[in-house]
């Protein structure tokens, strides 16, 4: 089985590898895929769309059995601007499967910059005085004091995707 991840970001690729660690017969490849949404998605809906587009395109471009799209964004709520993350798993002939990641509110000073049109990646680097936060611990890692990094958060999303896929396949086999 070939699994294509629609990103070159190591935080995302490692999350997919971790989720499939007990399944050595899954070959994981990474390939650039377009999200088709803005670089900084501003809602759950836009973030999901980005994840689904990436998953479908990754499978097509890499000629893989399964395409995975992982996308980060933010969603406005009465409790502040929330960090949101979504994943999608695409298999030809099946509705894409989606799953959401853990969410935390962003501090006011970060939220303000995003609402003015800035992207979270560079804003986080400036805030943390680090380089490539998005490829390492991520905003979630910084604001949880390292308890959950971006890759761990996406590993959880991946397990939610793979588990739903297995469940749906099991249901289908029962009906045949």
Ligand X SMILES: O=P(O)(O)OP(=O)(O)OP(=O)(O)OC[C@H]1O[C@@H](n2cnc3c(O)ncnc32)[C@H](O)[C@@H]1O
14 binds ligand X (CB under 6 A): no
59 binds ligand X (CB under 6 A): no
Distance in Å, CB of 171 to ligand X, minimum = 30
49 binds ligand X (CB under 6 A): no
Rg (alpha carbons) of the chain, rounded to whole number? 16
Distance in Å, CB of 113 to ligand X, minimum = 12
Q: Say whether 114 sits in a helix, a strand or coil.
A: helix
Q: 39 exposed, middle or buried (CB, 10 Å; 0-12, 13-18, 19+)?
A: exposed
Rounded distance between C-alpha atoms, residue 22 and residue 100, angstroms:
22
Smaller CB distance to ligand X: residue 66 or 157?
A: 157
121 binds ligand X (CB under 6 A): yes
From residue 93, how far is each of 66, 78, 96, 131, 136 by CA, in Å?
A: 11, 38, 9, 41, 34
71 binds ligand X (CB under 6 A): yes
156 binds ligand X (CB under 6 A): no
Instruction: By CB under 6 A, name the binding residues for ligand X.
Output: 7-9, 12, 39-40, 71-73, 119-121, 124, 133-134, 138-140, 150
């Amino acid at each position: 089985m070939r699994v294509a991840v629609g990103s070159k970001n190591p935080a995302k690729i490692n999350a997919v590898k971790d989720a499939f660690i007990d399944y050595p017969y899954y070959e994981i490849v990474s390939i650039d895929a377009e999200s088709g949404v803005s670089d900084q998605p501003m809602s759950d809906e836009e973030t999901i769309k980005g994840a689904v587009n990436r998953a479908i395109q990754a499978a097509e471009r890499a000629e893989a059995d399964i395409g995975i799209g992982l996308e980060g964004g933010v969603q406005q709520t009465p409790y502040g601007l929330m960090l949101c993350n979504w994943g999608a798993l695409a298999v030809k002939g099946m509705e894409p499967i989606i799953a959401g990641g853990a969410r935390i509110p962003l501090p006011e000073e970060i939220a303000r910059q995003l609402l003015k049109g800035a992207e979270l990646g560079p804003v986080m680097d400036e805030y943390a005085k680090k380089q490539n936060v998005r490829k390492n611990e991520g905003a979630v890692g910084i604001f949880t004091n390292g308890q959950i990094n971006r890759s761990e958060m996406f590993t959880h999303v991946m397990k939610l995707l793979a588990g739903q896929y297995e469940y749906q396949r099991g249901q289908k086999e029962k009906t045949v």
